[in-house]
Amino acid sequence: MAVTCDFYGLEEEKVTLEVEERFLQEHQLFDFEGERYIILSVVWAKDGPKANVMPYWEYTSLQEKTQRGIAWTAEDEPEPPLVREIDRRRRTS
């Protein structure tokens, strides 16, 4: 399944990733381009799912300050899933 992700810190681009639907949940961890990310939110739009994501190290530093909930991986998954980039384009909004 393809999902368009808004990455915190990548203000000029949206990245479309291929990921299994079962991994598309809030607080799910995944690895991309050598860094671990966390899904902050998922919205199911008419043209497909969209996710807001943040580097996990940044999330954990915020968590320490605000006592947010913990992140998790999908059941039966010892490591976060790897995802594959499909498309990268400039943001229009």
Query: What is the tens place of the pLDDT at every residue in 32-49?
Result: 888 888 888 888 888 888
Identify the residue with better confidence: 5 or 79.
5
- Cα–Cα distance for residue pair 58/66, rounded to 1 Å: 12
- Output the pLDDT for position 25: 87
- Output the pLDDT for position 23: 82
In single-letter form, the type of residue at position 30 comes to F
- Under the banding of pLDDT at 50, 70 and 90, the label for residue 59 is confident
- Under the banding of pLDDT at 50, 70 and 90, the label for residue 79 is low
Domain boundaries, the chain: 2-72
Average pLDDT of the residues in 18-26: 82
Segments in the chain forming alpha helices (H): 56-66
Token readout for 13 is 């681009």
